[in-house]
Structure 1
Amino acid sequence: MKSAALSLFLVLVLPAWHACAQESSDTPWFTAPYSGEKVKEYEVTLPVSRYEEETFLIPRDCKKLNSRLLEGAGHWGNRVQRRLWIKADDDCRYLNYLKRNPKKADKDFVSSYDFLNARITDLPLRPGCDLYMLLRDPDACPAPPPGMPDFSMFMMHQGHHPDPQESRDECRFENGVFRGHIHYTPEGLRCYRDRRAPGYRILSVDFADVNADGYLDAVLRMTLIGSRSRPELLVLPLTRFSGEEPFTIPKGAGYPRMGPTDEGWLY
């Protein structure tokens, strides 16, 4: 029963996972409710009162959906329908985040990078905290922003000594998935693969200039995986200013806020 409920949650709430290719298009892919089909738009019928329902075409009707949420319609319906309200709102807000800057970036150091097989050392282990601070005094690091991944949670305690027979690999995603433990060695970060360990799955990679600085940014949608993981959508915006440096969080990029808001809408 729990497995079936989890599968339904993933289909309803998470975006389409397409770990075969990175997308660079005007509209991201979404997951159609119930079918799980990868689509550019989908219809969803939701209760707006005790006796009324309304059909929304996402993303065309995102502005209308936001208005209904501001009116309090999101609390109507059963648990599945309320999850659908959340899913549709998340999809709309994510698209608005990608589209909020109408200007095209004229500098691109991100789209040629293979994020689905990204090296962990190329990504922020914890936004706002570098590796050396994590090693010296992890408690001094700021808490990761809500809704962003935190790779430092996979770092082994420095007093832990792994079995020397264990395979130590370069820390990286493989086809959009990372599961294992990160350990710091004199040679740098090394990873111990463990299929039972928690990890991250990259669900999609999109590109936009989210902070209007003229540099193209990559936006990764991810979810935590593992037997005790609670499925939730995580978003990691990334940028860099040359092809040789690691990625950082774009300054002033903000974050795709969740929940109804009276901010401007493109749809």
Structure 2
Amino acid sequence: MLRITAEKFHEQVIAAITSVKEIYTLSNVPLEPSESRKLITDQLLDSNEIDFSDINQVNEIITQDDTTDQPPSAVERDLEDLTAEYDTALEIFKNLENIDYGSSQIVAKTTQPARCLTVKMLLLAKEIQANPPKPSNPRRVLISLKLQDLQKQYLDAKSSGNTNTVEIKRQVAEQIDEWLKINAAEKKLIEDSITQLVIAADTGSKLSKLIDEYSDLDFEVIATRITQIVGVTSSLTGKDYSSVLTRMKTLETTINSDPTLRDFLRDVSIKTRLTPTSQPKLCQELG
């Protein structure tokens, strides 16, 4: 039962990491050939920063390909590190039945990757909530360009004495509606990602406490606790986002009141402020 619960935790971690990758990825917006050609033409004519003797630069503009040789972002590297930690934890979880639960030292060591994941899921949720990314900005750029074009049409119409600008205003209103739709969709995407992170962190917190107390609990208590752990997902999925933020605050309080997890939380938080030569130990010595 404990192993299955731990595997449930790993599924939630992977779902959370996948959702975070999605909101930090700027998605390319497919364009009609005529619209794409117009944008490229405008860029070639309007930009003062193009070196036309640089064939590679011109090629990138014409082909709209600027992805060559781009190093992974800091977010991508952090997510890769999280995935690697999960892989370490999973191997341990697969052999949970063979762990000597009479030794608290062995328990602490074998659950170390899971605890690092737990606090990192919480900290990542807090970071995204405080500084949400803008994955839909490419679509906003297109709308801005359309609004710029409509503004030019509007000003040209007024300067020529044409007061019939109803159609231009109608098109501007359409672009406003489209912008608001993008805002709403992006907001939901970010809230869903934070929810996934909070679910994973909450599950990891409860699992950590259960493993610590495992040797002192009877089967009925373990079964009840596992039922509560599995119920974390259903208790948050589809609920009002404010309840997710409330759970996130409660979870941080819970982790800070748990002596083991509190040390991991402090370790991870400090690590972000230290130089590579003075790394803390808890989340560095995995396995």
- TM-score, reference length from structure 2: 0.28
Which structure features the higher share of helix residues?
2
Q: Which has the larger radius of gyration?
A: 2
So what's the TM-score if we normalise by structure 1?
Answer: 0.29
More strand by share: 1
Q: Which has the higher contact order (CA 8 A, sep 6+)?
A: 2
